[in-house]
């Protein structure tokens, strides 16, 4: 019996491994194909290396930017951690402020009708304004430093989280609220133990959207309002015609954005295990 259970577990492990390998293969087909074609066309001279450097050259510059081995990245050699760290600090600061304020305001607007009538018209007027339109005012208000970048990241993240929070609160099953009231829950307990958990999937979805916007805006802000970070390196490299570093900056931003989103996705799976199960079932069906 024990040997049978052992063989069953072993078989399950190999099946799992095969499924994961197949999934990974599917995910890398498109990027690998694009890189191979890009390299071939660049080496054949179909694509001008002056306008679009080959992937191997971009990788060489990126490796030197990170490790400082060959000096091909010149003044940026070995400075990647500092640049990525500067951008990450701005994202974390602005995004954290946005999460806290957007969730609080969203719950208030979604729960109290008076607050909705009072605040929502102003929010709906401000929401369509692109965050980049605030750059001149951000520089006037905060100067050339981290503050304007943090402010722009805050604006970019705030509205997606806010709208998703309001939607999550408004769509909570009213039967849950009634059940809480019948069990003697006051308004605070209803918000804490009924509304917030029920709205959490929408809030976390808004947070995932917001973190992508945060990375986009911090790079935009670094191009004009600060003198450090990945966006600054991207813009500075453009002026010196170092398109290999421009693309390396874009790859770095995409990588950091991807890892941040992945971390949020794992967090969602941890706090919403029932949704993970539901998604697995829908995939299998």
What local confidence, expressed as pLDDT, does residue 278 receive? Answer: 46
How far is 144 from 135, CA to CA, in rounded Å?
A: 11
What local confidence, expressed as pLDDT, does residue 62 receive? Answer: 94
Q: DSSP characters for 134-202?
A: GHHHHHHHH-SSHHHHHHHHHHHHHHHHHHHHHHHHHTS-HHHHHHHHHTT--HHHHIIIIIHHHHHHH
Neighbours of 172 (CB within 10 A): 19
Mean pLDDT within 267-273: 83
Helix 2-43 to helix 55-67 angle, to the nearest 10 degrees? 110
pTM of the predicted structure, to 2 decimals: 0.82
Confidence of residue 282 (pLDDT cuts 50, 70, 90): very low
Mean pLDDT within 224-242: 89
Q: Is the pLDDT of residue 9 over 60?
A: no
CA atoms 245, 247, 253, 255: torsion sign: negative
Helix 243-271 to helix 55-67 angle, to the nearest 10 degrees? 70
In the chain, count H helices and then E strands. 12, 0
| Higher-pLDDT residue of 18, 237 | 237
DSSP state of 44: T
Confidence of residue 276 (pLDDT cuts 50, 70, 90): low
CA atoms 245, 251, 257, 263: torsion sign: negative
Taking the domains of the chain in order of start, what are their residue ranges?
2-47, 79-284
Confidence of residue 285 (pLDDT cuts 50, 70, 90): very low
Mean pLDDT within 147-152: 91
What local confidence, expressed as pLDDT, does residue 146 receive? Answer: 85
Confidence of residue 23 (pLDDT cuts 50, 70, 90): low
The C-alpha angle with vertex 15 and arms to 24 and 261, in degrees rounded to 5, equals 35
Q: Is the pLDDT of residue 279 over 70?
A: no
What local confidence, expressed as pLDDT, does residue 46 receive? Answer: 83
Domain 79-284 bears CATH identifier 1.10.10.60? no
Mean pLDDT within 98-118: 91
Query: At which residue do the structure tokens 């490790």 appear?
Result: 67
């Amino acid at each position: 019996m024990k040997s049978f259970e052992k063989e069953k577990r072993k078989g399950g492990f190999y099946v799992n491994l095969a499924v994961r390998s197949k999934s990974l293969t599917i995910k890398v087909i498109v990027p690998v194909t694009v890189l191979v074609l890009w390299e071939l066309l660049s080496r054949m001279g179909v694509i001008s290396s002056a306008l679009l450097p080959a992937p191997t050259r971009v990788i060489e510059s990126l490796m030197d930017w990170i490790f400082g081995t060959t000096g091909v990245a010149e003044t940026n050699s070995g400075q990647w951690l500092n640049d990525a760290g500067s951008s990450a600090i701005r994202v974390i600061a602005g995004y954290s402020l946005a999460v806290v304020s957007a969730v609080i305001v969203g719950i208030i607007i979604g729960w109290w009708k008076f607050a909705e009538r009072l605040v929502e018209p102003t929010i709906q007027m401000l929401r369509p304004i692109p965050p980049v339109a605030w750059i001149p005012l951000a520089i006037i208000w905060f100067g050339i430093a981290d503050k304007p970048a943090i402010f722009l990241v805050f604006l970019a993240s705030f509205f997606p989280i806010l709208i998703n929070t309001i939607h999550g609160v408004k769509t909570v099953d009213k039967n849950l609220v009634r059940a809480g009231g019948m069990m003697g829950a006051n308004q605070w307990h209803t918000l804490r133990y009924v509304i917030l958990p029920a709205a959490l999937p929408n809030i976390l979805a808004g947070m995932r959207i917001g973190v992508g916007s945060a990375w986009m805006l911090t790079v935009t802000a670094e191009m004009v309002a600060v003198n450090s970070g990945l966006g600054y390196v991207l813009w500075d490299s453009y002026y010196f015609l170092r398109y290999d570093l421009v693309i390396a900056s874009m790859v770095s931003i995409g990588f950091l954005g991807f890892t941040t989103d992945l971390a949020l996705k794992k967090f969602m799976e941890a706090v919403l295990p029932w949704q993970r199960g539901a998604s697995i079932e829908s995939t299998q069906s």
